[in-house]
Amino acid sequence: MPVSAESDLTQTANHHTPVKVVLTHEDIRRILAHRYPFLFVDRVIEYEPGVRAVGIKNVTINEPFFQGHFPERPIMPGALLVEAMAQVGGIVCAQLPDAVGKIPLLVRVNKARFRQQVVPGDQLIITADQLRVRQRRFGIMETQATVDGELVAEAQIMFSLVD
């Protein structure tokens, strides 16, 4: 479902710089099929439909995965960092012209690198830039996640648009 209206809300991305919220949590729920506890994008602060998105994930100690990873030293699992990056990429893919009524599914992850641990209290800033579209149903994104301006993870992610 295309989303075109920008929210009038002003939020803070890193507690220092005010940013305009482009997509609220409700807007994201209209675009992505994910729901709690597997929705890892709280809001989108920059958005160019079908081209680029920058999303935010506030990591809290209340995340269900911290109960087992690891209770004495909570660290966000790398697979869930990839999932969070994929969800921001999915927002970009879901806005491609041929995506109406389709769900972007993750089909491949390349060049994944984890550079730092993500812990409760961190705020992930996740960027997804479209590299190319193939056969009008595959999208390839370059994704990065940062905390306080430091790169914590990156990957190339491929999506397929399915009915």
Q: Provide the annotated active-site residues.
A: 69
Written as one string, the DSSP assignment of 41-88 is: --EEEEEETTTEEEEEEE--TT-GGGGTS-TTS----HHHHHHHHHHH
What distance in Å separates the CA atoms of residue 116 and residue 113, rounded to the nearest whole number?
A: 9
Contact residues for 65 (Cβ-Cβ < 8 A; gap 6+): 76, 77, 80
Where would I find the beta strands (DSSP E) of 115-149? Answer: 123-134, 138-147
Q: How many CB atoms lie within 10 A of CB 43?
A: 22
